[in-house]
């Protein structure tokens, strides 16, 4: 029998959520009452009737300190009056699977869910942890609610928690009996399989029998890298157990609290083993390489897609999936595409596809929460962002494994009636570029700027907007502002856009996913028409003609301001 105690506390001033939840170093979360304050602030930002007696879902990517945070959340949730807790087995569940689990609860009975993840950020005692809250629609709560949580965190004086040192089992169902105001109530903790519900949903959304025909081909070789994140169990359950991919083709598929010391970000910098296997850089034509390589990030909401000796940029991936949507059961199960959306820094490749197909294409700020309203309102079916995220209306998060299944479906459909040479990812992308042209695209990240340096860069960018417009005929420049067509909320100061007449762009944005310091992301997008050179090196193209990296340095003066000679990371 547990009782509820009220603990006096003092507020922290740094609990404002960024693009996707509250991300901090583990040592920050280990401060007295830090986690307790934040979890209580989420409850305080809602009315009691929104959560009392309702179901609370809890899961995470298994990173260091998640187990401590989950135990505290159970105790605080029950103390605040939730009626049932649905807990991922051992606390392990991908972010897209948690969204699906929330949406699978009986209508009106679920409060929402806490997801313990810092996504693609590194994990371990000296690295990052994150907490995000998704509402009853399975989506990360919108900007307005984020602000309400932050305001509550600045005013908090107490939190409620069960007065017990008991650790609740995370691998089997249990009950908590709570004595409150002279009565006893029972709260059940149900355990949800890490993978079962998600795998069953994917079997409904995709034609697995069709995909199996692709894997039966002798000339199709598939590899996957889980980067020691939560995607591993899903890869084993689908790619190995259902499609028959050999175990040795699935690398780093056991979730580890520190991701094996790796940075679980699926890009050309951090997925080095996969890059090497796909021969992206050396291009040794004497070497046989796989036909399809893929990886997901720490919480399995991001994806990277490789063909032999080539990376499919996330922007191109979104455009190609849109172009081939009629081949994908998941996207046509309720009729043709309703519309598509991309984040502002994502290239305009999908815009060209949408225009040709007569689809509405929305441009939103970075952050998956901005897609939520469009999905809930039925305005779009498919959406994506340049930071390796793709998703659809099946859940309210981006979904790495789902995106890989989309690509496998496209390849299976293209090769369905072909007994000859495999039509692979290079052939599909070259066909796409010949129709729409190619948007050569890369990103420079300047990490760990201090507040003064960040403010100076912003000042320089604001000054350069008018200068840019006079540099060449047809140039446009603005600070991106988003007016949500559904709830009519306005999100200002979402990035600086410097645009050419043909659609090529240089974009500056300050990241909201860093756990410390400021990260400036600079995006370079050069459009080449269908009759141009479609097979050039990306780095060469962005530096040709108007040298975009040089222009970016001039516009922001970031090297002088931050004392740098180049970016921290290029992707």
Active site residues: 119
Q: DSSP 3-state assignment of 409?
A: helix
341 in Cβ contact with 348 (< 8 Å)? no
Cα distance between residue 45 and residue 112, in whole Å: 13
Is residue 453 within a helix (H) or strand (E), and if so which, with residue range?
helix 451-471
Strand ranges, E, within 79-156: 84-92, 110-116, 128-134
Burial class for 556, CB neighbours closer than 10 Å (0-12, 13-18, 19+): buried
Cα distance between residue 68 and residue 271, in whole Å: 29
Token code pair at residue 30: 């280990």
Token code pair at residue 310: 């080539």
Query: CA 502, 508, 514, 516: dihedral to nearest 10 degrees?
Result: 160
Query: CA 350, 354, 359, 362: dihedral to nearest 10 degrees?
Result: 30
Burial class for 175, CB neighbours closer than 10 Å (0-12, 13-18, 19+): exposed
Phi, psi of 466 (to 5 degrees): -70, -35
Cα distance between residue 547 and residue 534, in whole Å: 18
Which strand ranges, in their side-by-side order, compose the sheet holding 389-392? 361-364, 340-343, 382-385, 389-392
Q: DSSP 3-state assignment of 352?
A: helix
Q: Which residues pair with 491 in a beta bridge?
A: 482
Residue in the block written with tokens 């036909």: 291
Query: CA 82, 86, 92, 96: dihedral to nearest 10 degrees?
Result: -90
Phi, psi of 302 (to 5 degrees): -110, 160
Give the DSSP letter of residue 375.
H
Q: DSSP 3-state assignment of 347?
A: coil
Cα distance between residue 383 and residue 335, in whole Å: 17
Q: List Cβ neighbours of 57 (8 Å cut-off, separation of 6 or more).
A: 85, 86, 87, 98, 101, 102, 105, 110, 112, 113, 114
Residues in the chain, total: 571
Distances (CA, A) of 103 to 135, 198, 377: 9, 12, 16
552 in Cβ contact with 59 (< 8 Å)? no
Q: Which residues pair with 333 in a beta bridge?
A: 335
Among residues 50, 82, 52, 31, which one has the least CA distance to residue 148?
Answer: 50
């Amino acid at each position: 029998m547990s009782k509820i105690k009220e603990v006096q506390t003092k507020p922290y001033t740094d609990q404002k959520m960024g693009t996707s939840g509250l991300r901090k170093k583990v040592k920050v979360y280990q401060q007295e009452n830090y986690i307790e304050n934040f979890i209580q602030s989420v409850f305080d930002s809602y009315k009691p009737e929104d959560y009392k007696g309702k179901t609370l879902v809890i899961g995470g990517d298994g990173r260091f300190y998640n187990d401590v945070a989950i135990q505290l959340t159970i105790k605080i949730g029950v103390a605040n009056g939730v009626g049932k807790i649905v807990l991922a087995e051992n606390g392990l569940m991908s972010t897209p699977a948690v969204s699906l689990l929330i949406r699978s609860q009986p209508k009106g009975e679920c409060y929402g869910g806490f997801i313990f993840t810092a996504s693609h950020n590194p994990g371990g005692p000296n690295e990052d942890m994150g907490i995000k809250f998704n509402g009853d629609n399975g989506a990360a709560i919108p900007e307005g609610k984020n602000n309400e949580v932050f305001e509550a965190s600045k005013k908090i004086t107490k939190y409620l928690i069960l007065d017990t040192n008991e650790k609740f089992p995370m691998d089997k169902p249990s009950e908590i009996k709570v004595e409150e105001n002279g009565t006893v109530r029972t709260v059940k903790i149900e355990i949800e399989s890490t993978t079962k519900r998600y795998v069953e949903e994917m079997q409904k959304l995709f034609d697995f029998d069709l995909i199996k025909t692709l894997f039966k081909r002798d000339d199709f070789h598939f590899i996957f890298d889980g980067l020691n994140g939560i995607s591993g169990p899903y890869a084993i359950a689908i790619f190995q157990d259902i499609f028959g991919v050999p175990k040795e083709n699935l690398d780093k598929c056991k979730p580890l609290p520190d991701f094996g010391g790796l940075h679980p970000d699926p890009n050309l910098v951090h997925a080095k083993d996969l890059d090497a296997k796909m021969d992206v850089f050396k291009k040794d034509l004497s070497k046989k390489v796989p036909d399809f390589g893929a990886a997901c990030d720490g919480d399995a909401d991001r994806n990277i897609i490789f063909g032999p000796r080539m990376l499919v940029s996330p922007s191109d991936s979104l455009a190609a999936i849109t172009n081939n949507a009629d081949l994908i059961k998941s996207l046509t199960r309720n009729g043709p595409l309703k519309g598509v959306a991309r984040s502002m820094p994502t290239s305009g490749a999908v815009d060209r596809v949408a225009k040709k197909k007569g689809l509405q294409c929305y441009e939103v700020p970075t952050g998956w929460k901005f897609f939520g309203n469009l999905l809930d309102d039925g305005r779009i079916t498919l959406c994506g962002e340049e930071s390796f995220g793709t998703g659809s209306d099946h859940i309210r998060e981006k979904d790495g494994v789902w995106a890989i299944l989309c690509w496998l479906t496209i390849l299976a459909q293209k090769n369905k009636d072909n007994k000859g040479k495999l039509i692979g990812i290079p052939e599909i992308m070259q066909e796409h570029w010949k129709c729409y042209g190619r948007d050569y695209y890369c990103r420079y990240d300047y990490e760990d700027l201090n507040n003064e340096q960040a403010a100076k860069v912003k000042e320089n960018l604001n000054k350069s907007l008018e200068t840019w417009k006079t540099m060449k005929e047809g140039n446009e420049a603005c600070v991106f502002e988003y007016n949500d067509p559904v709830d009519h909320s306005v999100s200002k100061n979402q990035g600086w856009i410097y645009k050419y007449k043909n659609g090529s762009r240089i974009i500056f944005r300050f990241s909201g996913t860093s756990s410390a310091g400021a990260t400036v992301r600079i995006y370079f997008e050069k459009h080449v028409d269908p009759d141009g050179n479609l097979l050039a090196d990306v780095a060469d193209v962005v530096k040709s003609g108007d040298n975009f990296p040089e222009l970016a340095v001039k516009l922001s003066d970031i090297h002088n301001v931050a004392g740098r000679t180049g970016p921290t990371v290029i992707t």
